[in-house]
A and B are shown apart, each in its own frame.
Chain A
Amino acid sequence: MPDNETANRTKQEKKEWEETRIAKLLAKKPERKDTFVTGSNAEVNRLYTIADIENLDYLEDLGFPGEYPFTRGVQPTMYRGKLWTMRQYAGFATAEESNKRYKYLLEQGQTGLSVAFDLPTQIGYDSDHPLSEGEVGKVGVAIDSLKDMEILFDGIPLDKVSTSMTINAPAAVLLAMYIAVAEKQGVSADKLNGTIQNDILKEYIARGTYIFPTEPSMRLITNIFEYCSKEVPKWNTISISGYHIREAGSTASQEVAFTLADGIAYVEAAVKAGLEIDDFAPRLSFFFNAHNDLLEEVAKFRAARRLWAKIMKERFGAKDPRSMMMRFHTQTGGSTLTAQQPDNNIVRVAIQTLAAVLGGTQSLHTNSRDEALALPTEESVRIALRTQQIVAYESGVAETIDPLAGSYYIEAMTDRIEKEAMDYIKKIDELGGAPRAIDKGYVQKEIQDSAYKYQMEIEAGKRIVVGLNKFQIKEEPPKGLLKVDPSVGELQKKKLLELRSGRDNADTFDKLQSLKKAAQGDSNLMPYILDAVRAYATLGEICGVLREVFGEYNQSVIL
């Protein structure tokens, strides 16, 4: 961007400044540390100048919001047109309890729903399965059949809200249930707005709720892409997630790299299945983490957007600009929260909220202060939501687009993260793509190394976490944590018994048999799953049939 003469002169004068003034100063009084690094351990210089962005070409590298390469944002007016969607991830115990929490959140000014399912649901087991024992309703709501889903969205008009569902291996089943509930409300599928996570590769890498092996899992995903492009055109068919990769301990660059490498694998699978890139790519969405290193995080979001746009255009030959647009949801970093002095977490979340907003997120979940201790209470969730509202309405950062652009540091770091991510993607390409790299444990090992290093730095006091390894106080155990009623498991079992005796079992089994046959062949499974769901087949029954045909994924255990 700068002319060469200015850049060269600045470089020259900076050198002189460091060799004379700074050197003299340091001799008398050294800086706080020998080296300064970001939250992700990248070295940080003392001062950034125009010389650090001498290769930046404004029109080519940054451009305008809503235009390729989307560095400055995906919409032309960004938050001046519409604020991001404030979407708190919630769900626990029964569908009845969760329905109450959703209505509360909507009353408090939340603008979209985000459903958390319990682990049995996420892994395709009914609440009465032996492996579900002790887990029913714990980390999210228990959904066994369409019956539960009808209760979950009771009184919530599905043509008016957008709903994000954190569901992966059985995403097709939960999407089918959502479509079926909408039908009962008289809302047709083409009116539905929302997202399913549907990102199995990061389950293998970091999150753990996989069911089927890679190949049939990728088939289910492309089946959903295809089905939705025709029947549910406004639905985000996948949320390619770096969030959990970061939670597992990756650096910011690794988060971008591994997420985009997964994205490349999904696009390749869909193209291989015969889909046209511009038919499905506009519905791909992403999901990132926001950590405490404010400026590095802002740069990360910008780098991710630019890199994805280039990949879609140059690698896959997308023509529709919407295929090149990286739209993403953000959640603040759960792993940055401390169980010690939990109210401090409110401040961390505020910084992370700023990072997400200055980074141009489309929707945001802010974590509650008590999440290192238990599921959040209603009061904690309200403070978290208010944090977003304060940033939106009081901080002023939403009034202009991408306000940090042009900062020497931000632009230099955006370049660095893009380059580091690209290097990883090349390496993963060499290994045969993301699914192979995951099978070999390469991706997991890179993340584990970063996680271990981070922990050791904390223990050595090289990295300060306030309240954890510095500024500690003696604390009383926290009070008033949310407890999930242990009788939820029994209640769900009872509901299942009633369901199985009340439905037309012959019809249900018929539909399950048709699904099985379809799974053995190569037709799109969505219509068969939808039929089974409408006949009140349970999630466990549907996934059971698919388990019989597909088998199960074997995790590669690497230390």
Chain B
Amino acid sequence: MDRPIRVLVAKPGLDGHDRGAKVIARALRDAGMEVIYTGLRQTPEQIVEAAIQEDVDVVAMSILSGAHNHLFPKVVSLLREKGADDILVVGGGVIPDDDIPGLKEAGIAEIFTPGTPTSKAIEFIKANIKRLA
């Protein structure tokens, strides 16, 4: 790999809980990745546009409001529409186990639930990155 992994950390929807998103953004950066953080209240369209414009390898989203089933798959399908389905998409937040299979089926590569060490997310991204592989 001759350049650092580029990650867009995004907060889709109206949820304002960004402690996790900011902690993960800093951990990814400390692990040598280039991180862009969108800030709050991003629509799926805005996230996809930022991902393409910033030419990222990974989109990492965080939701704690319960809107994940609606918003995560929407980002994946919009990325596909734009032909950017080689971007790895992961998600995190307060997400019930029951919802995880559906989200994975919709194309979210992994879901990180509360208590996951940042190191696990870092390893997952490094091992599963589709671009640069």
Closest chain B residue to A133 by CB distance?
Answer: B70
CB distance from A443 to the nearest CB of B (A): 14
> Contact at B97–A134, with CB atoms within 8 Å?
no
Q: Which residues of A contact B109 (CB under 8 A)?
A: none
Known A134-B13, A372-B114, A559-B37; contact A139-B23, beta-carbon cutoff 8 A: no
Known A248-B19, A249-B19; contact A559-B94, beta-carbon cutoff 8 A: no
A67 at the interface (CB under 8 A from B): no
CB distance from B114 to the nearest CB of A (A): 4
Known A339-B114, A452-B23; contact A134-B69, beta-carbon cutoff 8 A: yes
C-alpha spacing A478/B94, complex, angstroms: 13
> Contact at B98–A477, with CB atoms within 8 Å?
yes
**Among the listed A208, A451, A481, which residue makes an inter-chain contact with B40, where contact means beta carbons less than 8 Å apart?**
A208
Known A477-B98, A478-B97; contact A451-B16, beta-carbon cutoff 8 A: no
Q: Which residues of A contact B43 (CB under 8 A)?
A: 131
**Among the listed A119, A448, A451, which residue makes an inter-chain contact with B13, where contact means beta carbons less than 8 Å apart?**
A119
Closest chain B residue to A458 by CB distance?
Answer: B117
Q: Which residues of B contact A52 (CB under 8 A)?
A: none
Closest chain B residue to A208 by CB distance?
Answer: B16
Q: Which residues of A contact B16 (CB under 8 A)?
A: 203, 206-209
Known A459-B117, A477-B98; contact A559-B22, beta-carbon cutoff 8 A: yes
> Contact at B40–A135, with CB atoms within 8 Å?
no
Closest chain A residue to B12 by CB distance?
Answer: A134
Q: Which residues of B contact A401 (CB under 8 A)?
A: none
> Contact at B26–A559, with CB atoms within 8 Å?
yes
C-alpha spacing A340/B39, complex, angstroms: 29
Residues of A249-267 at the interface with B, using a CB-CB cut-off of 8 Å, are: 249
**Among the listed B17, B26, B40, B66, which residue makes an inter-chain contact with A452, where contact means beta carbons less than 8 Å apart?**
B26
C-alpha spacing A139/B17, complex, angstroms: 12
C-alpha spacing A555/B97, complex, angstroms: 32
> Contact at B115–A484, with CB atoms within 8 Å?
no
> Contact at A455–B114, with CB atoms within 8 Å?
no
Closest chain A residue to B29 by CB distance?
Answer: A559
> Contact at A455–B23, with CB atoms within 8 Å?
yes
Q: Give the B interface residue count (CB, 8 A).
A: 36
Q: Which residues of B contact A131 (CB under 8 A)?
A: 14, 41, 43
> Contact at A120–B14, with CB atoms within 8 Å?
yes
C-alpha spacing A233/B43, complex, angstroms: 41
A557 at the interface (CB under 8 A from B): yes
Closest chain A residue to B119 by CB distance?
Answer: A459
C-alpha spacing A133/B44, complex, angstroms: 11
> Contact at A139–B66, with CB atoms within 8 Å?
yes
Q: Chain B 104-127, CB within 8 Å of chain A: the 1/0 string?
A: 000000000111011100000000
B18 at the interface (CB under 8 A from A): yes
> Contact at B22–A338, with CB atoms within 8 Å?
no
Q: Chain B 17-55, CB within 8 Å of chain A: the 1/0 string?
A: 111001101110100000101111101000000000000
Q: Which residues of B contact A486 (CB under 8 A)?
A: 69
Q: Which residues of A contact B29 (CB under 8 A)?
A: 559
A87 at the interface (CB under 8 A from B): no
Q: Which residues of B contact A464 (CB under 8 A)?
A: none
Which residues on A are within 8 Å of B, measured CB to CB? 119-120, 122-123, 125, 131-135, 138-139, 203, 206-209, 247-249, 335, 338-340, 372-375, 448, 451-452, 455, 458-459, 468-469, 477-478, 481, 483-484, 486, 555, 557, 559
4 more A-B residue pairs beyond the given contacts A138-B65, A138-B66, A208-B16, with a C-beta to C-beta distance below 8 A: A375-B66, A459-B117, A477-B97, A481-B96
* In the A-B complex, the 8 residue pairs with the closest CB atoms: A208-B16, A134-B70, A477-B97, A119-B14, A138-B66, A134-B67, A557-B39, A339-B114
- In the assembled complex, 20 residue pairs joining A and B whose CB atoms fall closer than 8 Å, in A order, are A122-B14, A125-B14, A133-B70, A134-B13, A134-B70, A206-B16, A208-B41, A248-B18, A339-B114, A373-B96, A374-B66, A451-B22, A451-B23, A452-B27, A455-B118, A459-B118, A481-B98, A555-B39, A557-B38, A559-B29
